[in-house]
Amino acid sequence: MKPLRSWEPFKDRAVAVTGNVDDISVRRYLQSLGVLIDGRVRELGGLRLGGVGGIDHAGDVMALRSDLSKAGRLDVLVTHHPPKGVLDRTFMGVRVGLKSIRELSLMAKPRVHLFGHVHESPGHQAYEGIVAVNPGPLRDGRYALIELTETDVKVSLRSLA
């Protein structure tokens, strides 16, 4: 992995979760940068964010469940995998979202749930009062701008292409 030349400006403004094809060296690298939130809750910009990575999603879900039983809800949940039944349909039509992620999101009740994994199901939709966002793969120039105010969540899916 090619190291970032100047990560410092983003250190207090970014978080990351691992992907399902990342190995432990990616996890260590993100941890060394201070942005990894796999299985953790972090305060950032007045928001409580929690993360579930793709390397050990079961362990991350357990860790967050424990934190949330003590500390309450999240503003934003960032997971690699989607929740079961939400923007999780593959090109073959199979739903591959995880039940454990859906259960965690319903427990955490975030206003926004960000995830990826299923590259062919970009979009945003509401479920159970939560705004779900899968921007699609960044390698294809896809991303989302999200405006989170006291009373509203606005999502704009974008592409560099």
How confident is the chain (161 residues) per 10-residue block, as mean pLDDT?
Answer: 59 90 94 94 93 97 92 92 98 96 97 97 97 95 94 95 75
SS3 68: helix
Q: What is the pLDDT of residue 39?
A: 97
Strand partners, 118: none
Tell whether 65 is covered by a domain: yes
Domain of residue 107: give its range. Answer: 8-159
Q: What is the pLDDT of residue 161?
A: 75
Q: Are 41 and 64 in contact (CB under 8 A)?
A: yes
**DSSP string across 93-150:** S-B--BHHHHHHHHHH--SEEE--S-TT--EEEEETTEEEEE---GGGTEEEEEEE-S
Tell whether 95 is covered by a domain: yes
Q: What is the pLDDT of residue 13?
A: 84
Largest CA distance in the chain: 44
| Global confidence as pTM | 0.92
Q: What is the pLDDT of residue 5?
A: 56
- Which tokens go with 70? 């003590």
Q: What is the pLDDT of residue 24?
A: 94
d(CA 71, CA 44): 16
Domain count, the chain: 1
d(CA 148, CA 91): 31
Tell whether 1 is covered by a domain: no
Tell whether 3 is covered by a domain: no
Q: What is the pLDDT of residue 127?
A: 97
Tell whether 80 is covered by a domain: yes
CATH number at residue 128: 3.60.21.10
